[in-house]
Structure 1
Amino acid sequence: MMALPCHIASLPNCGPFKVLSSPQTKPSRFTVQSKISSALHLVSDQNNATVRRSANYQPSSWSYEHIQSITSEYGKESYVEERDELKVRVRVMISQLRSDLDKLEFIDVLQKLGVSHLFDHEIRNMLQHVSAKEYEENRSKIKSDLHTIALQFRILRQHGYDVSSEVLTCFQDEIGNFDFRDIKGMLSLYEASFLSMEGETILDEARDFCSIYLKKFVKENKDSDEILSVMISHALELPLHWRIPRLEAPWFIDLYHRSNHVSPALLKELARLDFNIVQATHQQDLKYTARWWKEMRDNGEKLSFVRDLPTENFFWGVGMASQPELSYFRREMTKITSFITIIDDIYDVHGTLQELELFTHVIHRWDIHSLGILPSYMKICFLGLYNSVNEVALAILKRTGIDIIPCLKKVWGDLCESYLKEARWYNNGHVPSLQEYLNNAWISVGGPVTLVQGYFLQVPDSIMPQDFEYLQEYPNIVRLSSTIVRLANDIASYKIKSDVSKSSNEFDGGVPKSLKCYMKETGASEQEAYEYVYALMCQTWKKMNEAVNNSEFSEGFTEISMNLARMAQYMYQHGDGHSEDSHTNLRMLSLLNNPIPITTSTHIIGLHM
């Protein structure tokens, strides 16, 4: 990977990127995008004969009728009672854990299986016994155990403990080279390295070292040690720290089912049952948001030009906050991502520049008496947004006495202002410098609106007055999360271009805009630009890790901020994760549609522990 040249634009106040609109392609922001034709074409507006572009968005494979037909038996109280009985038995298992390593490995399995939310209290108690102080004091005693050191480092740092990466120096020789060949330990160290912060070069070196040997192990041992090879390959594709436990749970449940020695059978049964129970709650949330979306989009066909993606928009909310008790967050978050999708399509495709300037003006004023200056399709969009935001604000005002309208008005106004700037760039044929691009992109990516409004949705009763003012200035945790979303999307667009180019002589897609800005400014090749953007994303993750570690916000808000960034890694892992027949569609089926089969009763006496 090429080094980051010091003369190139740096992150502006930790700000993110945004793909610039172009005549060739319209990459999505963090919002979802269905399959799109290779080129935009012009259509005539029937109301005023305005010539407009059209993106030819295809319908979602998740039809309204299919969503409403989804059913699950796991919403019954009997299954909840069965899960509660299993929780009691697992708590007994936890109480019998003695060594620090046993506790750490149990916490790790709980997280991978997606059931850690059931044992928050127990996990806190175990971590208190595996403290950072003991970690420092005991490292000399377990110097030869790389797996223990690396796992301890990752789990403790993940949960906010101040742990130094210098403990890894005990695995280096006198000239600084790493000296170990333990594959399990290498996998643990590789995963731990992604929690690094700026300046922790030892973790960068450890990641590079482990990556080489892990790839070699998979190549030479995939048949002789299938389970370990599969786990290594999974980590090399995307590290645990960049993944969301709820979305990963089906994969780990299946893996552990095939490996009898990986985790206790009782825990596997609990994971299957809990997954299905939580899925039943998510299905009800999805049905609610699909009904809302149908009513919103089908209003007189005025918004028929926008992307029809009810499930994909909902998926972001599930990734950010999957806990069953956070239904309100998911339902309202889906409305936010849906409105960002609508407004994105208005600015990118449908609206004329004059209309966009008028719409931006109305958003800033936040006054329904200004509607007269807007065309009918914009009136519907503004009224829908206005009512949705005000409804949330009224609920918050009743519960807390705090008026959040000024804050929400500002973030939506900032978003539209950034969209307008991009529309002007497009109309003028302007390709900005990388720095100019970055200065605007950290807002137009959509992350700030999502996280600021998400703060108020998460736990309304925990709103702090000091946070309210701080949020309006977009703290680093908001800027950095948004940066990662943008960069992940840009990298995905590059992958799409590369894949299509391999199978076709022509590709009308252009270069992703963060890459294009870099290439224009430096004369770098497309591959060099890709490597630079990827390196910048890794650098941003380091900043994000530090921002989370030093955050004064609640643990819940820092988690949804991290999860927004993780969702981008997840959605864009294999290219444009929002295209039809994509990996993402299969993942949505697994998460929202298909329960995990339970073939063995969890009540059988004598179940192997």
Structure 2
Amino acid sequence: MGGSLGHPRMALHLYILSTPSSSKGFIHCRPLSHQWMISSNIKCLASTHSTELTTYIRRSANYQSSIWDFDFVQSLNSDYKGEAFKRKTKKLKEEVRGTLDDGAMGQLDLLELIDDIERLGLGYLFEEEIKKALDTIVSMEDLAKTRTKESLHATALQFRLLRQHGYEVNQGMFNHLKDEIGNFKATYLADAKGILSLYEASHLAFEGETILEEAKNFTMTALKEIIKGNIEKNLAKQVNHALELPLHWRVPRLEARWYIDIYEKKENSIAALIELAKLDFNIVQVIHQENVADLSRWDIKAIGQLPYYMKICFLALFNSVNEMGYFHLKEHGIDSIPFLKKAWIELCKAYLIEAKWYHNNDKTTLKEYLNNAVITIGNNVVFIHSFFSLQQTIREEELDCVSQYPSLFYWTSMIVRLANDLSTSMAELERGDVLKSIQSYMYQTGASKEVACEYIRNMIDETWKKINNDLYTNDFLLPQPFIETMVNHARMSLCMYQYGDGHGVIDDESIHRANLLLFEPIPLLRDA
């Protein structure tokens, strides 16, 4: 079906194989050469006769097995669990905190330090200090007066950081960078660092912010030319990296692993910050390893019988809800069952719609497809489960908001669906499936595959603007960790499908990223 269910920290993808829409009764499945053979005696309710069903061969993606086997995952062990490293972390935090609190630091230096801290994955350790620093910058009375004196890099960096943190900041702050006829000044083309900063800032745009849209087009063209020239090696790496995916769209933890290497080579880098970033990454990696080890204890062979087990779970869910204490949030006085039931019912109904399209050979328009496909991608199920898994006190207004599926559910689901389709739709069509977003657009408009793919990429870009607006307004008043979970799910999809089907096909880049993130600690400068 092409839909995927996954936890924000790890991807557990469940593929629900649907039966012909005319079938009724229980379906008994068993594996047959990596496919599914279905046979069943179904008793007609209107008569006493039994009818023998036709044998169907279910479609299969034949996904490869994991290259990290059970024994390997269970054998993972790390020295970074020790108390010595926790003490070292505390010491380094105090050292970096002292640098952040240095009142003599200039505004640009402070902004760059905040940016470095966050890109190194350490922002969560210095939330109060960062907020205090940004509050000070925003409250400066002469901010508007000094605007024309700021460099391209300083203006763009200030805009990006303030908007990332929810401060009110207008795109008009870039007006002084334009010439008399409204174009960005050509003199900036020689400023590679400034162009890169403006490019990253432009991806924080809301819908209708034309100046930022112009900035994105201007900087994207400029960076492609800049990279052809003779620029500093470390900066060239950052430009190439940004052109592949902007910072705002990247998975934070994987980005931190990449940026540690960049920052270490940066002029005037702070030794304590480098060491803290490495140590923190290794300590968090231990937590991820423990999660993977727990998940690997699942009976993987049993996943092959997923449709049968889903039937059992579904019956248990509906018939024995009062006995399933696992789903009850007793400490909050909240029963999560109705919310989970709603999400799973909607998902299964959406799968059945796709099954009907497939068996009837229906052709869908893009709108028809996406109305259903944003559900079959499985995000709503993931998000509802994630919401009730957070260690927090759930307020009444939050529960009410989640029950109505706020717009951020929809937009992040759209990103995951479109990213999935761009990389997997051709393979899915070859093995037999419904039209995806690309093919639906081609059918609807007569466009070529190349034009359709470009249209879908533009849809991803426009959807991010809607996400940006939701993040800024936060009208739904959801807890910040849950908001980050949703947005990171969208980012993870762009990462997973960046070079192809990173879920269904084990390619070298996917293996490399998994190793960096989960299995390979970063060597420290000194022992703890």
- TM-score by length of structure 1 reads 0.74
Asked if the contact 2:134/2:162 (under 8 Å) is kept, the reply is: yes
Distance 2:142 2:445 in 1: 46
In 1, Cα distance between the equivalents of 2:458 and 2:139? 30
User: Contact 2:357–2:434 (CA<8 Å) still a contact in 1?
Assistant: no
Give structure 1 regions of 4+ aligned residues with deviation exceeding 3 angstroms: 26-34, 40-52, 132-136, 362-366, 389-392, 506-512
Retained in 2: the 8 A contact 1:135–1:152?
Answer: no
Deviation at 1:460, TM superposition (A): 2.9
Unpaired segments ≥5 residues, structure 1 = 1-20, 35-39, 306-341, 370-385, 501-505, 603-609
Q: 1:404-419 residue pairs with structure 2 within 5 A?
A: 404-419=336-351
Structure 1 match to 2:99: 93
Note the aligned Cα RMSD (angstroms).
Answer: 3.0
For the 8 Å contact 2:250–2:491, the answer to whether it is kept is: yes
3-state DSSP class of the match of 2:166?
coil
CA distance in 1, matches of 2:431, 2:142: 55
CA drift of 1:363 comes to 4.1
Displacement of 1:508 in angstroms is: 6.6
1:211 Cα shift? Answer: 1.2
Residue number in structure 1 paired with 2:437: 514
- 1:208 positional shift: 0.9
> What does 1:106-117 align with in structure 2 at a 5 Å threshold?
106-117=113-124
Q: Distance in 2 between matches of 1:83 and 1:68?
A: 27
| Corresponding letter in the other structure for 1:215 | K
Q: What letter corresponds to residue 184 of structure 2 in structure 1?
A: F
Distance in 1, Cα, partners of 2:527 & 2:404: 53
Aligned counterparts of 1:29 and 1:81: Cα–Cα separation in 2: 38
**Are residues 526 and 141 of structure 1, via their aligned partners in 2, closer, same or farther at CA, if it must alter by over 3 Å?**
closer
1:184 equivalent to 2:193? Answer yes
Instruction: Pick closer, same or farther for the CA change 1:54–1:526 going to 2, 3 Å.
Output: closer
Contact map agreement 1:364 1:413 (CA 8 A) in 2? no
**Residue 489 of structure 1 is aligned with which of 397, 420, 426?**
420
Gaps of 5+ in 2: 15-32, 42-52
The letter of the residue matching 1:60 is: S
Q: CA deviation at 1:523?
A: 0.8
Residue-by-residue CA offset, 1:107-129 (whole Å, 9 max, x unaligned): 11011111111111111111111
Percent of aligned pairs with the same amino acid: 40
Instruction: Specify which of 385, 406, 409 is matched with residue 478 of structure 1.
Output: 409
The residue number in structure 2 matching 1:598 is 524
Amino acid in structure 2 at the alignment position of 1:217: I
2:132 is paired with a residue whose SS is: helix
Residue deviations 1:277-331 (CA, integer Å, cap 9, x gap)? 111122112111211x22xx44xx5x425xxxxxxxxxxxxxxxxxxxxxxxxxx
Deviations 1:409-457 (A, max 9, x none): 1111111111111111111111222221122122111111111221222
> Which of 201, 204, 209 does residue 200 from structure 1 map onto?
209
Q: Which of the numbers 229, 234, 237 marks the counterpart of 1:220?
A: 229
After superposition, the Cα gap between the structure-2 partners of 1:591 and 1:391, relative to the gap in structure 1 and judged at 3 Å, is farther
Displacement of 1:251 in angstroms is: 1.0
1:18-50 alpha-carbon deviations (Å, 9 max, x no partner): xxx4xxxx575766679xxxxx98553599895
Farther off after superposition, 584-593 or 196-205: 584-593
- Paired residue for 1:321? none
1:521-551 deviation line (CA, Å, top 9, x unaligned): 1111111111111111111100110011111
Indicate how the Cα distance of structure 1 residues 199 and 281 shifts in structure 2: closer, same or farther if over 3 A, else same: same
Structural mapping, 1:69-80, within 5 Å: 69-80=75-86
Q: Residues 447 and 582 (structure 1 numbering): CA distance in 2 closer, same or farther, change over 3 Å?
A: farther
CA distance in 2, matches of 1:516, 1:417: 22
Question: Which structure would you say has the larger RCO, counting Cα contacts within 8 Å and 6 or more residues apart?
Answer: 1
Q: Secondary structure at the match of 1:52?
A: strand
d(CA) in 2 for partners of 1:101, 1:488 = 36
Equivalence for 2:58: 53
1:44 to 1:509, Cα distance in 2 relative to 1, 3 A: closer
* Paired letter, 1:583: E
Is the CA contact (8 Å cut-off) linking 2:207 and 2:465 kept in structure 1? yes
Figure out how many residues of one structure are paired with residues of the other and give that number.
Answer: 487
* Cα-to-partner distance string for 1:249-300 (whole Å, 9 max, x where unaligned): 121112223x151521111011111111111122112111211x22xx44xx
| Amino acid in the other structure paired with 1:366 | L
Letter in 1 for 2:57: R
CA contact (8 A) 1:132 1:163 kept: no
Judging by fraction of residues, say which structure has more helix: 1
Matches of 2:176 and 2:435, distance apart in 1? 43
Aligned to 2:375: 443
Q: Is the 8 A contact 2:278 2:522 kept in 1?
A: yes
Mapped to 1, the partners of 2:136 and 2:83 lie a distance apart of: 36
- Residue 239 of structure 1 is aligned with which of 235, 246, 262? 246
Which aligned pairs between 1:203-602 and structure 2 lie closer than 5 A?
A: 203-221=212-230, 224-257=231-264, 259-261=265-267, 263-291=269-297, 293-294=298-299, 297-298=300-301, 301=302, 303-304=303-304, 342=306, 346=307, 359=311, 363=314, 366-368=317-319, 390-394=324-328, 396=329, 398-461=330-393, 463-493=394-424, 513-551=436-474, 552-578=477-503, 579-601=505-527
Inter-partner Cα distance in structure 1 for 2:473 and 2:341: 28
Q: Which amino acid aligns with 2:455?
A: Y
Q: Aligned-pair distance for 1:230?
A: 0.5
Q: In structure 2, how many angstroms separate the alpha carbons of the residues matched to 1:135 and 1:231?
A: 32
Q: 2:37 matched to 1:44? A: yes
CA–CA distance in structure 1, aligned partners of residues 458 and 233 of structure 2: 31
Is the Cα contact below 8 Å between 1:493 and 1:512 reproduced in 2? no
> Is 1:131 the counterpart of 2:162 in the alignment?
no
The TM-score with structure 2 as length reference comes to 0.85
